[in-house]
Amino acid sequence: MRIESDFLVIGSGIAGLSFALKAAKAGTVTILTKRDLRESATYYAQGGIASVSSSEDSFESHIKDTLDAGAGLCNRRIVEIVVRDAPERIKELIQRGVKFTGRAAADGLEFDLGKEGGHSKRRIVHAEDLTGKAVEEALVEKIRSNGNIRVFENHIAVDLISHAKFVSASPMERDMVWGAYGLDKSAGQVRAFSAKATILATGGAGKVYLFTSNPDIATGDGIAMAWRAGADVSNMEFIQFHPTCLYHSKAKSFLISEALRGEGAHLTVSDGTRFMERYHPMGDLAPRDIVARAIDFELKKSGDDCVYLDITHKGAEFIKSRFPNIYKKCLEFGFDMTIKPLPVVPAAHYICGGVAVDENGLSTIDRLWAIGETASTGLHGANRLASNSLLESLVFADRAVTDAVRLVKSGGEVPHIPEWETLGAVESDEAVVITQNWDEIRRFMWNYVGIVRSNKRLERASRRMSLLKNEINDYYWGFKITSNLIELRNIATVAEIIIRCALARKESRGLHYNIDYPERDDLNYARDTVIRP
Active-site annotation, residues = 288
* Beta strand pairing call for 124-125 and 368-370: unpaired
As a whole number of angstroms, the longest Cα–Cα distance in the chain is 69
How does DSSP classify residue 222? H
Q: How far apart are CA 328 and CA 336, in angstroms?
A: 9
Q: How far apart are CA 453 and CA 508, in angstroms?
A: 10
Report the amino acid identity of residue 48: G
Cβ–Cβ under 8 Å, residues 372 and 393: yes
Angle subtended by helix axes 76-95 and 389-409, to nearest 10: 90
How does DSSP classify residue 420? P
Cβ–Cβ under 8 Å, residues 42 and 14: yes
Helix %, strand %, coil % of the chain (to 5): 40, 20, 40
Report the chain's terminal Cα–Cα distance, integer Å: 31
Cβ–Cβ under 8 Å, residues 322 and 234: no
Output phi, psi for 249, to 5 deg: -60, -25
Q: How far apart are CA 298 and CA 237, in angstroms?
A: 23
